[in-house]
Structure 1
Amino acid sequence: MTEAVLSVKGLAYEVPGRTLFRALDLDVRAGESVAVMGPSGSGKSTLLSCALGLVRPAAGTVSVGGADMAELRGRALARHRARHIGMIFQFGELLPELSPLDNVALAALLAGADRKDAYRRAGALLAGLGVPEAATSEELSGGERQRTAVARAVINSPTLLLGDEPTGALDETTREKVADTLFAMPRQHGCGLLLVTHDPAVAGRADRALTLHGGALVPVPRNGQAAVR
């Protein structure tokens, strides 16, 4: 069995008036995709924030690439996050004034890559994902922007890929194309993929689909979404 690139053990976290996580456990392994569903406010995005080291739990551990994210601080946290985690947001969060190539290469440059190598790898990723050349990312369609965001997320060969509703702003046809790209990443790059979504069709494409309910993660049956609340 491959190693867990994300290991969550006994996670506990509360917000005023509500418990989001109660001894929550989750492992995501290299080459595996896991989707998490749940109603708004259930803690899906907070789970991603814990994996990023942006939210520190009241109890438990969240380990990425063998390091407890809550134990890291400052530059050490930023370095570990840059080395091990790629993040894809709902709206891509590209720099609109930069070209797709510049957006992707910038992630590599910020991680210390050689400029020539950064642009070579960025160009290869974008070409492989079918993103056209453009002077600015504003010229791209919604699906092309999301595929650019995927390229940016994987250019540094992360251990773990995170997606926060990465198909939520797309039409059905574009959603399917972006989902094809997303779920191919664990096999192509040997990373783990954890995404949160409201869309049962997207969640159903993951190796495992879970729903966050009552502070715990519950498997979604493969014969339907009866357990999704």
Structure 2
Amino acid sequence: MQDDLWGLLVTGFGETLYMVGFSTVLALLLGLPLGVALVLTSPGHLLSLPAVHKILESTVNATRSFPFIILIVLLLPLARLLVGTTLGSTAAVVPLAIGSAPFLARIIENSLKEVERGKIEAAVAMGTAPLDIVVKVLIPEAMASLVRGITLAIITITSFSATAGAIGAGGLGSLAIRYGYQRYRDDIMVATVLVLILLVQGIQWSGNRLALTIDRRRHQVQ
């Protein structure tokens, strides 16, 4: 029974890491440009396109308003189209990434807006192009805040992955439901919750340490 428990936990933990890792990378690829666009097109900013900003903002708000379990169901046809199946960890990456991207875009937007306006204006006065300002001013200045925000997003994706387990995505969420709840295995249920708690604590600790290191290096340079 104990060997069975450890084998199931190792498998579920590996599937969760796989889903969270790939989903985070894809969500960043989608959310970073969207977050930057939200900042640049906002009224009074570098590009200042209020109409475009309103469309982007409405799209982000609409996507974020969906409960994640409903969003998963809606995106199942897309998952089947892209990966050929709606079951398993790989299929879950599609809704996890798309569902997390708007949330991540908001985090990135808020972090970039924390950058001092004077530094942006100084770069504009020197004739720096908007893209260069984003790469050389906004992102470096907001890096510590971005790391903290991305850490929060990873934790959110982890919780989403557990929810995705309810529809056959695999991972620790599926393990808790299929073996812990449906088969009345309290040992699996408790062990799964403990592993998830430790995983989230590890992610949070790592993110905080990295953000603190970035802050210290930034202050040393200044």
TM-score range, shorter-chain basis?
Answer: under 0.3
* Greater share of helix: 2
Max radius of gyration: which structure?
A: 2
The higher-RCO structure (CA 8 Å, 6+ apart) is 1
After TM superposition, the score normalised by the length of structure 2 is 0.26
Normalized per residue, the structure richer in strand is: 1
Q: TM-score, normalised by structure 1?
A: 0.26
